[in-house]
Structure 1
Amino acid sequence: MKPGELSYQNILFSCLDWGSGHVARSVAVLKELSGRGNELHISCTAAQKAIFLSYEIDACYIVTEGFQFRFKGDGNFTSEMRRNAWRFSRWIKAEQAQTENLVKKYAITLVLSDHCYGFRSDQVPSIFITHQVSLPPKAGWIAQRIHRKWMNRFSEIWIMDDEQKRLAGVLSNPVPKSKYIGFYSRFQDQEISLVPGKVVGIVSGPEPYSEQFFHWILKEHGMQNLILISPKSYSEIPPNVTVISDWKQADEEIASAETIVSRNGYSTLMDLQFLKKKAVLIPTPGQLEQEYLYGK
């Protein structure tokens, strides 16, 4: 079973509320599911709902607060995750209880979770969507074991990678109950062009890392004409820099760029498979996954 094989199901969906990568890649998945006659119920934050609605994804939206990661921005993601571990474990339990209630309330036949460990049900098949079947080697065996334990509670695992062209490297090594579903990007059906010399910077990731990257792009590329895509402006903007927060407008700018400056999150790497653009990719300091993908 893959997204393109699902028809006329009553689907409950959620994606991780961490930066913008998970919601970005979910746009293409949800469009494919909607186009096959499935009825969609999307559990999401208010910000995620606004993004999905901008892409005209027809669904029953169930707005939740989501899990708010708390980061210091010191570049030590191992310590950052440890600081969130106790709250995160409690959230997973609460998330599953909430999911069970939603399955009953909306007569759900299938649950799809883009890397939300607690978004599953014991009543109906529940599928975990990820590119990161294994954590980066430097994450350590304890984190790896916990990740596998939570992931293996699902009925099936969809790996968002290509079996032959392994964009995620060892992170997407197959495991029991897993299957590859290919690359997903909101640009896969969009017309792509190129304006010579056009540079577009994309600010993403959890705070305060996104603010740090905002200032880095301005420092390194702010002397030239620059389109900067960011959920908000963190400082006074030079006259030659335009900041855009609207997703659909941002997509148009990205699609016509010659060069993209971005973090090298996995969703961005999938986008580049379709965009075929020059890219300056900068990993988030201490983020082991991005550092692995950068050096791969």
Structure 2
Amino acid sequence: MPAQKILITPLDWGLGHATRCVPLIQAQLAQGHEVHLASSGRALAFLRQTFPKLPCHELPDYAVTYPKANLYWPLLRQLPKVFLAIMREYRVVQALHQQFQFNTVISDQRFGCYIPGIFNAFISHQIHLPAQHWVGGRTVQWINAFWIRTYFQESWIPDWEEYPGLAGDLSHPPLPGAKTRYLGPLSRLHKMEAQIVYRIAFILSGPEPQRSIWEAQIREQVRAFPQEHFFLLQGKPEVPFFETQDGNLLISPHLDTAKLSLLFAQSALIICRSGYSTLMDLAYTERPAYLVPTPGQPEQYYLARKLGNEGLYPWSDQADFDLQKCLETAPSH
């Protein structure tokens, strides 16, 4: 295949959309294609750190306010703001196309990132939304499905094709009328063996304010266990890299792929969100974990319950998070 110009555009709702695009970006580069990246916020900061030689373009932020309860009612109320952001990012993408003449757009859940007349793929593991039993969930689901079928030539799902896969009812069956490709789970990490250094590694991710709320909760609770060694990864790629020791807690805002892979191997237990990209990392590295879904995100609760019922990972609500119980789960050094 002749070299193509490819635009890859992950959503900036946490880091997961950007991190799971890493193997796709690497695959396109390995095939000799010219790759451009576009996103906003922390996702864009992560892409610039991970691929410093690639052109990175800034897109408008969706600027969704995250609730403490169910996500979908607040999302419905913010739909006008979301549609305006989609229109703005669409205009930015068209301007970029005028300048660079792309052959392909790969959009990870950015609904305005498509270019009429060329190939557009839409990446999402959540083609069926949880909470469709009420009108708000059904409305968001209808919009989601309509947009994918109308403006994108293919639906790419990062899961195994055979049900239930990793995402269960979220990713199965394919959307009727949409040409679908199951990619299998995507992870940027490397599987490795290493001596255990940390009893627990806390991997924070997701949007504010819940990321900061959970960090404060963790930092308070680790003080009760001075004999243990913990690592806290804040999930803040926009902050310059540092490592600081706070008692028995080693803290870093972010890690590159090699260091994060090593952290997974050096930790007896991973405590993390049940965001799908994090779950793909766990599945690939086969590390034991304890899940704490982000409050207000039904998808993460669905995934935590599914994997808990399958006996893979225990989990709890953030409000009920108890480090003592987690330590009982984690094997000793």
Partner of 1:229: 233
How far 1:275 sits from its partner (Å)? 1.4
How far 1:267 sits from its partner (Å)? 0.4
The match for 2:297 among 280, 287, 295 is 287
Q: Does structure 1 residue 95 correspond to structure 2 residue 97?
A: no
Partner of 1:3: none
Q: What count of residue pairs does the alignment treat as equivalent? A: 287
TM-score scaled by structure 1? 0.88
How far 1:79 sits from its partner (Å)? 3.0
**Deviation string for 1:49-68 (max 9, x for gaps)?**
44234334642221334322
Q: Does structure 1 residue 204 correspond to structure 2 residue 205?
A: yes
**Partner Cα distance (1:202, 1:246) in 2:** 10
Q: Does structure 1 residue 66 correspond to structure 2 residue 64?
A: no
**Deviation string for 1:245-286 (max 9, x for gaps)?**
132244432332121000110001100111111101011122
The more displaced of 148-157 and 219-228 is 219-228
Contact 2:62/2:86 (<8 A) preserved: no
Partner of 1:184: 186
The more displaced of 20-29 and 42-51 is 42-51
Contact 1:185/1:274 (<8 A) preserved: yes
Contact 1:193/1:255 (<8 A) preserved: yes
Partner of 1:22: 17
Residue 182 of structure 1 aligns with an amino acid whose one-letter code is G
Contact 2:264/2:287 (<8 A) preserved: no
Residue 147 of structure 1 aligns with an amino acid whose one-letter code is N
Partner of 1:43: 38
Contact 2:60/2:85 (<8 A) preserved: no
Structure 1 segments of 4 or more deviating over 6 A?
none
Partner of 2:49: 54
Identity rate of aligned residues, in percent? 29
The match for 2:270 among 256, 260, 263 is 260
Q: What SS is found at the alignment partner of 2:159?
A: coil
Q: What SS is found at the alignment partner of 2:155?
A: strand
**Deviation string for 1:106-129 (max 9, x for gaps)?**
010000000111111112111001
TM-score scaled by structure 2? 0.79
Q: Gaps (5+ residues) in structure 1?
A: 1-5
Partner of 2:106: 112
Contact 1:192/1:275 (<8 A) preserved: no
Partner of 1:160: 158
Residue 27 of structure 1 aligns with an amino acid whose one-letter code is V
The more displaced of 267-276 and 247-256 is 247-256
Partner of 2:309: none
Q: What SS is found at the alignment partner of 2:32?
A: coil
When residues 110 and 280 of structure 1 are mapped into structure 2, their CA distance, relative to the original with a 3 A threshold, is: same
**Partner Cα distance (2:95, 2:65) in 1:** 27
